Every structure is written in C-alpha cells, then in structure tokens.
Structure 1
Amino acid sequence: MVGPLPVILCGMTEKIGASVIASLQPEYEVVHFVMNPTAGSAQIPPLLAGQSAPSDSSLGSRNYSVPPVAVILGGGYDDAGIEQMMTATAGNSSAKRVPWLRPDLTIPAPPLGPEYGKAMVQRVKAAMTEIQTKGEMNETKVYWY
C-alpha cells in the first residue's frame, strides 16, 4: 500500500487524540476517532467492512476509501470495553480482520498530556512494525504495545 496506512483510533479525549493523530503521521492516517466502547461497537464494524460510519468526534480524516488496517486503543479502554467492540465486529462477516493494539499499562509512561501521547505513539509504531514483519496484519487479536 502506498501512502499512510489507514487506522481507527479509540481514545477518551479529543485533546490527547489530536496529539496522537499528529504524531502517527506520516506513516498512519487516523480515518476515524472513537470516543467510547458503545460508539466503537456501532462504528467499527462498518468501517472494517469498507463503509462509512457516523462519528461523535470531529477528529479523523473520514477518508474511508480504503478499509482501516488496525484499531489502536488508548489506555482508557478496559477489558470489557474492548471485548464489547471486538464482539460487535466479529458479528459482521464483512468486517476485515485487523490487529487491535492495546497499551501495556505496566510499562512506565509520562503523565497524561502531550508527552504521554508521543510516548504511546512510539510504542504503537514499534508494535505495528513487528506485526507487519511477522505477517500478522490480517489477524483479529489484541497486541500489546
């Protein structure tokens, strides 16, 4: 694929989301920003099936011409929320299989704010490189970053 890889970003605040989106560029294009598990359960399945979806956020390019290649989760998403979104996606047989990247909160990180976002992005990029190298971009499972 030429150009940035399209991804979905799930975060709890647009302020941190905006800095993460800027830091993911130029390698990744956040096409859609999800604000909570309930919204993600409704929005992610059609996005992974190559369709558009409404959003509660102004963030994201809304460039749905190519289905996203990954779902990146922020630290505010717990086991239950992630399970809810993944189950909703599994129920859509047209949804593309993609890795779901989740932060390992046991790894030290800066406090919430711009530096936190930058540190998380470095870890996301390293995890995505590893997933691509292993040839696992079509696996629907959680990868820790």
Structure 2
Amino acid sequence: MATISATSSIRFCSSLKLSSSTTLQVNGRTSTVKVTHAGWKSKSFPSLRCTGFRVSCSAKPETVQKVCEIVKKQLALPADSELTPDSKFAALGADSLDTVEIVMGLEEEFDINVEEDNSQNITTVQEAADLIEELISKKSGA
C-alpha cells in the first residue's frame, strides 16, 4: 500500500505574483510541484486590488541612439558627449524651450505627433524613446 503525505506553502514573489509549492511524498520519494499564478482573486485578498496589468518594454537601441543624436544637436553638445538613456535634459542644460525644440525634432525625425500632455512628461532620453516607440506602434496599428 502506498503512503502519501502532502505539505503546501504559499509565498508572495512580487505584488502581482502568487507562488505556491506542494511537496508530495509517495513511498518515501519526495516530489515538489510549483504553481505560479498572476493576479489576485478578489475574494481571497479583499484589501488588495489589481485594476490592470501592463507589460512594457524598453525602446529599441536604434531609437535611443537617434534620440541622443537629436538631443546633442538641439542642445549644441559636443559630438563626443556621452549620453545615456538615463540622461536628464535639465542636467544637460535644457530649459523648457529647449525641451519643446527637442520634442519638435523628434516629431520631425520619426514622423509622429506628440501631445502637449505627453511632451511635459519627457525628462530623459529613455522616456522620449519609449514614448516614440509607443506612438509609432499606435500609428502602425491604426
């Protein structure tokens, strides 16, 4: 006759992931089954709410490079200036007018239209590149 015993453990891996594992012993052999669920069941955790789930990817390296070139040109930075995706426009010496000119250069280069609300949220090279990728994907999907 087979002897079976089971133990379960549940742990939270991140804000949106619930991981559980169950250990089974059959005739002295141990086997572990792991199951991962994304999201919450509202009845189980009424105080935790998940209103949506969004997967976001960083912009392509080519897009980031083009943004760097446009920023260098608009701010008259030396060609050997080192810009990274985390470079902040303000730290590079850009004021609000410079930022508007950068956005206009991006619109022209990528043939996109950046809403005024979105342009006010752009403070780094990466944010600009991510917005460009988003607008291009919306444009091609429309």
Same fold by TM-score greater than 0.5? no
Given the two structures, how large is their TM-score scaled by the length of structure 2?
A: 0.27
More strand by share: 2
Question: Which structure is richer in relative contact order (CA contacts within 8 A, separation 6 or more)?
Answer: 1
